[in-house]
Each structure stands twice: as C-alpha cells, then as structure tokens.
Amino acid sequence: MVDVLVMGSGGREHALAWKIAQSSLVKHLYIAPGNPGTSLCGTNVPIDAMDFEGIANFIVENSINLLVVGPEAPLAAGITDFLQSDPRLPHLKIMGPNKLGALLESSKDFAKKFMIRHHIPTARYKAFRSDDWEEALQFLKSIDPPYVLKADGLAAGKGVVICSTITDATAELEKMLLEKKFGEASQKVLIEEFLDGIELSVFAITDGKHYCMLPEAKDYKRIGEGNTGPNTGGMGAVSPVPFATGDFMQKVEERIVGPTIRGLNEENIPYLGFIFFGLMNVKGEPYVIEYNVRLGDPEAEVVLPRLNSDLVELMMAAVDHRLSDFHLDVEPKNAVVVMLVSGGYPGKYKSHLLIEGLEDISDALVFHAGTMIEKGKYYTASGRVLAITAMGNSLEEAFRNTYRQVNKIFFLDMYFRKDLGKDLLNL
Ligand code: AMP
Ligand code: GLY
C-alpha cells in the first residue's frame, strides 16, 4: 500500500487525483495545494508546489512513498534533486525528472541539441544571444517564411512567435533578444524552420531505460473556433487521434520515443516519470516540436480516463523497472474534453462568478481547473474553470455526449469552443 502526494492545482492534477484515488494500492492520497475538485478525491494540503521545504516536511510527517509532480515549474526548479538530497527521504519515489532531465522542457536549445545528437527528426534551427544579432539576421534571411521564433526558457507556453514576413520576424526578434520580451527566458532565442502539418501529443511513462506508451491526444490551444485568435492554456482535447494510425505510431516509436529513451540512458540522464512528445505530422512523417517532462493539460483529462489499468500499478511498475512487461489496458472508446473558460480569457476576465448546473451532470467527468467553493457553492476562480470529459463509441458521439453535458452548466460570460475535433473528421 502506498501513500501518494500529487503536486499541483489544475485540471490535470484533478484528473491525476481522480485516477489515483481509484487504485486499490493507495492508502492515503494528498494533493498540494489541489483545488475544490481534488478535495473530492483525497485530502488537499495548503502547500504551494514551489515551497520545497514545506513539501519535504509534509512528505516526512505523512510517510509519503510516491510523489507525482503535475506541473513543470517545480521540476525545472529542481524539486526532485531537492527531495533526493534530503537524508530523511531515502525511499521516496518521485514521478518527475531531476533538473537535468527537466532541461528537455526548460531549455529548448538543450532539447534541440539532444534531438540532433540522437538523430531524432525535428525542424532545422539555430540559437542566438543578443551578441549574435547580425548572425541571427543572416540566418533569418537564409530560411523561407513563415519564421518560427522561440524563447529558449520557460515562458508559460507563450514563448513561441510565428511571423509570416521577414519584417515582422526581425521586429519580433528585436523584442525577444534585445528588449528581453520574455525576460531571462529570451536571453537566448531559437530561430526555427516552419513545419507545415498537424500536431498531436504523445505520452510515455519511463524509468529512463524502459517505457510504456500512453494513449495519444490532440489539444486545441487557440481561443477561437477554427483554431483562430490567441493561444490559451488549452481549450480542450480529444483522444484517440484518428490520424495516429498503427503505421504512424510505429514511426513515432522507432524514430522518436525509442531514441529519446535510449539517449537519456546513454547520456546518464536519470528519468522517472511522464514524458510528453509534442509532435507535428508532416505528410505522414513525425517531427518533434517540443518535449515536456509531465503530462499535458488538458490532454490528461482525456488520456487518463482512457486507462482501464490502475495508474498507481503503472507508476509502481516504472519505479520497479517492470515497464517492459506491463500490459496497459486502454479503453478503445473516444474521449473529448471541453474546457469552460471565463469570458475574456486569455485576456481580462471576471472572477468569483457562481457556477450552476454541476449537480445535473451525468455520464461525464467534471475536472476542476480554476474554481473555489464557498458555503457549498462553486465559483469561478481563474480563466480556465472546468474541464468536462465524456466518452463515445466514435469521435462524433463523444462530442455530442460532451456538449450535451456542457450545456447544463452556466456561469456569467461562460465561453467554450464548439468545434473541437471537427478538423479531424474530414481528414
Ligand atoms: P511550443 O511551445 O514549442 O510547443 O510551440 C508552441 C506552438 O508553436 C506549437 O504548438 C506549434 O503550434 C507551433 N510551433 C512550434 N514550433 C513550430 C515549427 N517548427 N513549425 C511550425 N509550428 C511550430
Ligand atoms: N497542452 C499542452 C501542454 O500541456 O503543454
């Protein structure tokens, strides 16, 4: 039996807590700091995910065996190294890499160099600092539009700018590199070739040597229908992805997942946890856009509901190096998650609005992303508020089932996209 602590407070962490709570291996489940949704699955503890000292003390006092780190920020800041060096915690198992492994997400230049060393397909690129301004301009001129500019460091998902003309690209490069638009994150900027294709998110769990693939998903990042308008933290997701056929996924494993895990092993980068491959399918050939060292949000809200297997058993198989023999039972049904957001998001929006209709939801999962509870009533507390997941025998049926439930929920200025997955139906 294990005592588990999940770190984080969004929809992904609610999905993790929901799935972990179903495990017969779990004695106690805690979530730090969690949200009103996770409190239905376990015990919320008011410790911020960046309060490493507080987390360490809690783990000691409550004999936690397994820590599941939801978001990237504590991993990039070295929570795993911090806890592993605590003499009080020799037996703690942590799902999430140390600072070195987390560089796969926290430095795009590190990730690109890693991919090149291991012959993993990715877009051609070069990285520049402000001293290299003239060289950067030369490189821009040498590639075809559109131009992809990326801040090297973590920028809350906003560090990538795509420009259609060289004039725009030069102006943007000046902002990023010379005016430090993304602060330290854009001290170094990557200029990358544009990959013309369709994206998907692929996940594996690994012990740094062996891995087990999880169901793939596709997320919808833009606020507007038809993938228009500004980027958000994610407006919804679907799983499975129809174009991720057996053939395509075989290429993904052979060219990307296998070489990545082998690369980690060869370079002695210890890695226990989830790894997320942000991929572009270019005419049937997979390329890596980015690595993330965690599950995706909102992808977790469709990936985890499709696991019939016990998630804690799976994580313990990773801990005990038994992943190669683990048979993952995946639900063949389609899952769709729709994110309900505050009107105005990702710009300005109102908060503390009463959420009605939650008690009428049936045949769907409600994951809290940004809510608060007062006297038994739920209120909005963030831009992304609720993630509603439903299943169906086909993508179309899953959409219909999800939207039927979504329409029962109301809060002032509530917004959600009504076109999720439609782009996949006529491919
Ligand atoms: P990232 O933060 O690296 O995931 O990039 C954010 C988004 O920018 C991705 O989800 C893609 O839609 C887009 N993007 C990043 N790199 C490229 C590329 N080389 N070609 C085309 N689109 C890209
Ligand atoms: N949905 C993309 C991410 O979690 O980064």
Kindly tell me if the per-residue pLDDT of 186 is higher than 90: no
pLDDT-derived band at 124, boundaries 50, 70, 90: very high
C-alpha span between 416 and 418 (Å, rounded): 6
Q: Which two tokens stand for residue 157?
A: 């998902």
Q: How far is the CA of 23 from the centre of ligand 2 (A)?
A: 25
Tell me, in angstroms, the distance from the centre of ligand 1 to residue 84's CA. 33
> Which of 277, 288, 297, 339 to mutate to test ligand 2, by most ligand atoms within 8 A of the CB atom?
297
Mean pLDDT of 34-58: 97
| CA-closest candidate to residue 282, choices 350, 192, 197, 173 | 197
354 CA to centre of ligand 1 in angstroms: 36
Predicted pLDDT of residue 427: 60
Is residue 237 lining ligand 1, measured as CB closer than 6 Å? Answer: no
Domain 198-325 has CATH 3.30.470.20: yes
pTM for this model (two decimals): 0.96
Confidence of residue 392 (pLDDT cuts 50, 70, 90): very high
Note the pLDDT tens digit of each residue in 8-42.
Answer: 999 999 999 999 999 999 999 999 999 999 999 99
pLDDT band at 194 (very low <50, low <70, confident <90, very high): very high
The top-level CATH class assigned to 334-424 is: alpha beta
Q: What element of type H or E holds 338?
A: strand 334-341
**Across residues 299-316, what is the average pLDDT?**
98
Determine if ligand 2 sits within 6 Å of the CB of residue 259: no
Ligand 1 atom 3, closest CA: 290
CATH number of 124-193: 3.30.1490.20
State percent of the chain over pLDDT 70.
99
Instruction: Write the residue with the smallest CA distance to atom 5 of ligand 2.
Output: 296
Domain positions in the chain are 2-88, 124-193, 198-325, 334-424
CA gap 193, 354 in Å, rounded:
46
Q: What is the pLDDT of residues 212-268, one digit of tens each?
A: 999 999 999 999 999 999 889 899 999 999 999 999 999 999 999 999 999 999 999
Write out the two tokens for 322: 């038994």
Spelled out in words, what is the top-level CATH class assigned to the domain 2-88?
alpha beta
* Ligand 2 touching residue 233 (CB < 6 A): no
Residue whose CA is at the smallest distance from ligand 2 atom 3: 296
Q: In three state form, how does the secondary structure of 253-304 look? A: HHHHHHHHHHHHHHCCCCCCEEEEEEEEEECCEEEEEEEECCCCCCCHHHHH
